[in-house]
Amino acid sequence: MEPSCTFVRSNPIVQIQIQNLSKTYPNGVKALDHVSLTIPGGMYGLLGPNGAGKSTLMRTLATLQEADSGSAVFGDLDVLRQKEEVRRRLGYLPQDFGVYPNLNTQEFLEYLAAVKGLDATAARRRIDQLLNLVNLADVRSRPLGGFSGGMKQRVGIAQALLNDPQLLIVDEPTAGLDPEERVRFRNLLSELSGERIVILSTHIVSDVEATATDIALISNGALVAHAAPEDLLRRVEGRVWEWVVPSADLNAVKQCYRISNTARRSDGVHVRVLTEEPPAGALPVAPTLEDAYLDSLSIYRAGAIA
Amino acid sequence: MKRGRVLWHLVKADFLGRVRRTSFLVTLAFAVFLGYQTFAGHVVLRLDDYRGVYNSAWVGALMGVVTSSFLTLVGFYIVKGSILRDETTRVGQILAATPMSKSFYTLAKFLGNFAALAAMVLVMAVAALCMQMFRAEDRTLHLGALLSPLLLYALPAMAFVAALAVLFETLPVLRGGVGNVAWFFLWTALLVAGVGPAASRNGSLTRADYFHDFSGLPTMVVQMRTALLKVDPGFQDSISLSIGGKPPQHRFVWTGIRWDSVQVAARLTWVAYAIAAALLASLFFHRFDPARERFTQKQQEAPDRPAVQELAAARELVRSDPWAGRLTPLPPASVKNRFFSVVIAELRLMLQGHRWWWYAVAGGLIVACAAAPLPASSGGIILAAWIWPMLIWSQMGSREARYATGSLIFSAPHALQRQLPAVWVAGVLVTMAAGSGLAIRLLIARDLHGFAGFLVAACFIPSLALALGVWSGSSKSFEALYTVWWYTGAAHHIPGLDFTGTFAASSRPGLYLLLTAALLAACWMRRRTQLAYA
């Protein structure tokens, strides 16, 4: 009996509850500092600067790393203890992963399908679909050793979807992708999030702003903010201004204001600033998620220093 | 001046990078172990039933020759891999973009290797000093006599090894496992080439012989022999450098090597050979050009699709429909705990990528084992059949680390209970298949003891490979250890060391069954930790 295209998933989308998760590395770096989060179904963006602790959180949720304390529950499964059960439902695309260069795409996916326990017939059908999905069907017989970074990344997402996971964790997936591939990748993840939890970790705001239903900001291992993108935007509404300054004044402006962006044009430098009191001649502009991100981070850092 | 500074910083960075790794501590620990074994009298330089009194001259000579004879073998395996490391860390890409010449780079790598090996020589020098002081047979310290063998025998030999490691890494055929096996036989040949002339001319050496002497042992022994003949004219010319065995009963006083210009020139020639080898390596060095690195041939064989065309296709896809296909949800029944499919997948992975002639030789050895008389088959041909798949075994357990696929595989369900045993079973199947010719002969001859030995060996070899692979994360440790074990233990049918188990006189299946169990337990423990099991 062929499975029909109208197959309805029997398991409802569950959520992940993280409570006081902490991890300190032997060198003293505090990668996670009492992080508490609720990750609902759909696309969830984990945003933060490099070294913020995103990958540690991702690896812990992917059952590849122990936490020092705290808990993480996926549906009714304890992620830190019921690892095998979680792995059955997990698709994971690590930030940095390798492939076997002598195998082609088809062979590599067949190998991983076997390791994940898929039966051969189902695996073949699934691999066909996935290769079409990630646009690698034409190169399925090409050895992976000759693949570009973007093509390798697409192999990575295909392997993560092999077992039709309820939880898909993708760590910095757009690194090394060209703009077209990046757009395509975002669309793909957005589509996939309709029927599972997709956790996307990135330091690139545009990766999550159009697709994530919820965003967590992490810095220095601590949770800085956790909200829907609209809520984050509301926090900076009326505080983003743009005005034109001569190039020579740019350094002086940098000393006085929190700048979120600059662009050189024929009439001078267009400066975008985050401030309560606008400079003379500045015009209010609609905030972007990047403004909200920078604002939250600088408030957090100012608080941490104080 | 500027070039000297660049070279200094290249060597310094390379050396610091090494000494801050745990593997360097293991390296030094090995030197300390060997130094201690010599100190404790377990390594003996014996002339008939004589050894020298432990004065500066004898202790220095002993440590020097132990270093140039034994540490050179291990030292090569320890330092080989520095270019590969630059490749995998991508530091090589940065270096390749600088004005640095290829010869400069290979020279720097040679000096980096040499610095690491020189640290081992330093440990041996400290051990020599301790040995003379604590054994207290003659505490009069003659620094020249104590250190000159280490400086003039050990260091030039180490320099040559350091340069050969760079040369091997730049030659496509020798940079991998084949090179690791080849080094063992080259090392043996280097030692034999030095000792041979001294043995054939009844202890006298010609001027040319000094230049062929890699370890310094023959040069040194000729002078010791002269001293001993004065004490015991009946000396029978029985000379050995061995680990273990009964200590010699008699002692004689030897005052040290009398260096002359020919001997010093001969030792410095090995340094010149080393520099020449390092420069030769620059001719083959790929300068981290991806097109000349590993997958050139495969890329050429693959159907070519221009990047522009690929980009255009991607753009079209984004414009038309970002969703190229739909995924059918996977019925839950398709995910099962199928151990045998993982075994087949691992077996395919192991056997992938070999050329037709590899299979032809493996097939030929199976047929030869089956067709030859049983003693020839179990005592000789099986050795060839069980060295041939070595590069398959050496990937076991280390493949995930080498290709950085660990996070993909370890996040799959039952990686410990399913994938790890599947790798082992696949390895056992490969070993049994490689030796199947002999298995048939043993069964026909109803030699059940021999067949039991065969089965144990077929389990032991992949267990050793898997354990070393899982623990070291590299194929090198198995390639080095197995080659030495295979040659010294199995090929010479030494009881207790012959793991093949099919040669009645040296077979010890019970011992190897226990070893297999211990190795499998070690694999399990290590992989359990890798999978973050508390």
- CA-based nearest distance B104→chain A, Å: 29
B276, HSE (Cβ side, Cα atoms, 13 Å): 6
Whether A56 and A198 map to the same domain: the answer is: yes
Does residue A39 form part of some domain?
yes
Distance CA B164, CA B278 (A): 7
Band of pLDDT at residue B198, cut at 50, 70 and 90 = low
Structural domain ending residue among the three candidates B261, B277, B292: B292
Query: What's residue B295's pLDDT?
Result: 42
Query: What's residue A170's pLDDT?
Result: 92
Strands B250-252, B50-52: pairing is parallel
- Examine the pLDDT at B366 and tell me if it is beyond 90: yes
Whether B20 and B169 map to the same domain: the answer is: yes
Neighbours of B350 (CB within 10 A): 21
What's the domain count of chain A? 2
Substitution target in B304, B327, B351, B398 with the highest count of A β-carbons within 10 Å is B327
Show which of residues 282-311 on chain B sit within 8 Å of chain A, judged by CB atoms: 294-295, 298-299, 301-303, 305, 307, 311
Mean pLDDT of the A254-279 span = 87
Whether A26 and A172 map to the same domain: the answer is: yes
Whether A61 and A102 map to the same domain: the answer is: yes
Band of pLDDT at residue B512, cut at 50, 70 and 90 = very high
Band of pLDDT at residue B484, cut at 50, 70 and 90 = confident
Whether B251 and B392 map to the same domain: the answer is: no
Whether B242 and B371 map to the same domain: the answer is: no
Q: Is B446 near chain A, with CB under 8 Å?
A: no
Mean pLDDT of the A233-243 span = 89
Q: How far is CA B20 from the centre of its chain?
A: 21
CB within 8 Å: B335 and A116: yes
Whether B272 and B399 map to the same domain: the answer is: no
Structural domain ending residue among the three candidates A184, A213, A228: A228
Query: What's residue B532's pLDDT?
Result: 67
Whether A122 and A266 map to the same domain: the answer is: no
- Examine the pLDDT at B419 and tell me if it is beyond 70: yes
Does residue B248 form part of some domain?
yes
Whether B267 and B357 map to the same domain: the answer is: no
Mean pLDDT of the A40-56 span = 89
Whether A185 and A127 map to the same domain: the answer is: yes
Q: What angle do CA B306, B310, B316 make, to 5 degrees?
A: 145
- CA-based nearest distance A126→chain B, Å: 8
Higher pLDDT, B340 or B424: B424
Does residue B389 form part of some domain?
yes
Distance CA B67, CA B124 (A): 7
Report for A219-228, B57-66, B156-165: range of highest mean pLDDT: B156-165
Whether B353 and B229 map to the same domain: the answer is: no
Whether A224 and A239 map to the same domain: the answer is: no
Which residue do the tokens 């690195």 mark? B293
pTM to 2 decimal places: 0.74
Mean pLDDT of the B322-333 span = 62
- CA-based nearest distance A210→chain B, Å: 15
Chain B positions in Cβ-Cβ contact with residue A101 (cut-off 8 Å): 294-295, 298, 403
Whether A172 and A254 map to the same domain: the answer is: no
Does residue B332 form part of some domain?
no
Residue range A175-188, pLDDT digits in tens: 777 788 788 888 88
Whether B75 and B215 map to the same domain: the answer is: yes
Distance CA B534, CA B468 (A): 22
What's the domain count of chain B? 2
Whether A155 and A269 map to the same domain: the answer is: no
Q: What angle do CA B237, B240, B241 make, to 5 degrees?
A: 150
The answer to whether B50 and B248 are in contact (CB under 8 A) is: yes
CB within 8 Å: A97 and B405: yes
- 3-state SS of B107-162? HHHHHHHHHHHHHHHHHHHHHHHHHHHHHCCCCCCCHHHHHHHHHHHHHHHHHHHH
Residue of A209, A215, A162 lying closest to B345 (CA atoms): A162
Does residue B423 form part of some domain?
yes
Does residue A168 form part of some domain?
yes
Whole-angstrom Cα Rg for chain A: 22
Does residue B315 form part of some domain?
no
Structural domain ending residue among the three candidates B292, B309, B328: B292
Query: What's residue A261's pLDDT?
Result: 86
Tokens of B103: 């010869």
Whether B452 and B362 map to the same domain: the answer is: yes
How many residues would you count in chain B? 534
CB within 8 Å: B299 and A143: yes
Whether B401 and B252 map to the same domain: the answer is: no
Substitution target in A104, A111, A171 with the highest count of B β-carbons within 10 Å is A111
Separation in Å, CA B144 to CA A90, B147, B199, B259, B425: 67, 5, 28, 11, 57
Instruction: Tell me which DSSP letter residue B403 carries.
Output: T
Chain B positions in Cβ-Cβ contact with residue A123 (cut-off 8 Å): 334
Whether A206 and A119 map to the same domain: the answer is: yes
- How many residue pairs bridge chain A and chain B with CB atoms within 8 Å of each other? 184
Q: If residue B465 lies in a helix (H) or strand (E), which one and from where to where?
A: helix B448-472
Structural domain ending residue among the three candidates A188, A207, A228: A228
Does residue B310 form part of some domain?
no
Does residue B45 form part of some domain?
yes
Cβ-Cβ contacts under 8 Å for B372 (sequence gap 6 or more): B380, B381
- Examine the pLDDT at B156 and tell me if it is beyond 50: yes
Higher pLDDT, B318 or B448: B448
Whether B19 and B155 map to the same domain: the answer is: yes
Show which of residues 305-364 on chain B sit within 8 Å of chain A, judged by CB atoms: 305, 307, 311, 313-315, 317-318, 322-332, 334-338, 341-342, 344-345, 348-349, 352-353
Distance CA B180, CA B394 (A): 11
Distance CA B512, CA B521 (A): 14
Domain membership of residue A281 as a residue range: 234-305
Distance CA B149, CA B55 (A): 13
Does residue A264 form part of some domain?
yes
Mean pLDDT of the B184-194 span = 89
CB within 8 Å: B317 and A184: yes
Whether A121 and A190 map to the same domain: the answer is: yes
Helices (H), chain A: 54-61, 83-88, 105-115, 120-133, 149-160, 179-192, 205-209, 229-236, 250-256, 289-305
Query: What's residue B305's pLDDT?
Result: 44
- Burial (Cβ within 10 Å: 0-12, 13-18, ≥19) of residue B489: middle
Distance CA B500, CA B453 (A): 7
Whether B181 and B58 map to the same domain: the answer is: yes
Separation in Å, CA B160 to CA A119, B73, B218, B266: 54, 12, 18, 13
Cβ-Cβ contacts under 8 Å for A60 (sequence gap 6 or more): A21, A23, A32, A66, A67, A72, A79, A80
Domain membership of residue B377 as a residue range: 339-530
- CA-based nearest distance B302→chain A, Å: 6
Whether B287 and B345 map to the same domain: the answer is: no
Distance CA A296, CA A290 (A): 10
- The single-letter code of the amino acid at A127 is I
Structural domain ending residue among the three candidates B267, B292, B317: B292
Whether A209 and A258 map to the same domain: the answer is: no
Strands A222-227, A214-219: pairing is antiparallel
Structural domain ending residue among the three candidates A195, A228, A261: A228
Whether A91 and A139 map to the same domain: the answer is: yes
CATH number of residue A208's parent domain: 3.40.50.300
Distance CA A148, CA B290 (A): 12
Query: What's residue B337's pLDDT?
Result: 67
- Examine the pLDDT at B493 and tell me if it is beyond 60: yes
Mean pLDDT of the A124-153 span = 89
Does residue B163 form part of some domain?
yes
Closest by Cβ to B408, choosing from A65, A125, A159: A159
In the sheet with A77-78, reading across from the earlier edge strand, the strands are A30-39, A16-24, A69-74, A77-78
Residue of A232, A197, A198 lying closest to A215 (CA atoms): A232
